[in-house]
Amino acid sequence: MGFRYEVAQNEETSVNFSVDPYEDKCHLAEERQNCLLERLRANCSFNTSAGKHTFMLQLILSSKVKLSDKHIMNILGLKEYSTNHCRLYSSILNLLGHIASQLKLISVSLHSFPLTDLQDLCYRVADCFDSLFYVPVTSSHDDLSCALSFTWNDRFNSMWPLLYLLAREYEYK
């Protein structure tokens, strides 16, 4: 809390300490900002794949299931007749195609990569398209003094649609 120092202009020199409202507002704004930063650190880790299991990724890599683009778009909730959805899907495919071509330079088989590394790649791609791969989590005990909520949850287990598309692009490269 800030204090303002005032000296009276009369013969009796007296000192008056009072609270400066501007400094008090700055202090409250600082507290709100610190609250937001603490919630960000607590609820949103920058490594979103930490602590996730890789069994679904192994299942996707070892299965012989073939899905068409129409199936994947339907799984992602994209409409095939919408031009914006088709552009979004093609940008995902372009990004995964670029990643697959870079991985192809390193190794012959996608199975030779550690599953945790593949999972991390999938989560990094999902972070680029966060509204498609994450859903907001509503909590009953949200702090009302903080205006924003940073709690998100995965929409897909281990981002398996991205790994499926990455494996498919890897085969084509």
pTM of the model: 0.65
pLDDT score of 148:
58
pLDDT score of 140:
61
Q: What are the residue ranges of helices labelled H in the chain? A: 21-43, 55-62, 69-76, 83-106, 115-128, 130-133, 160-172
Calculate the dihedral angle through the C-alpha atoms of 71, 72, 76, 80, rounding to the nearest 10 degrees: -60
Tens of pLDDT, residues 22-42: 777 777 888 887 776 666 555
Instruction: Give burial (CB, 10 Å; 0-12/13-18/19+) of 150.
Output: middle
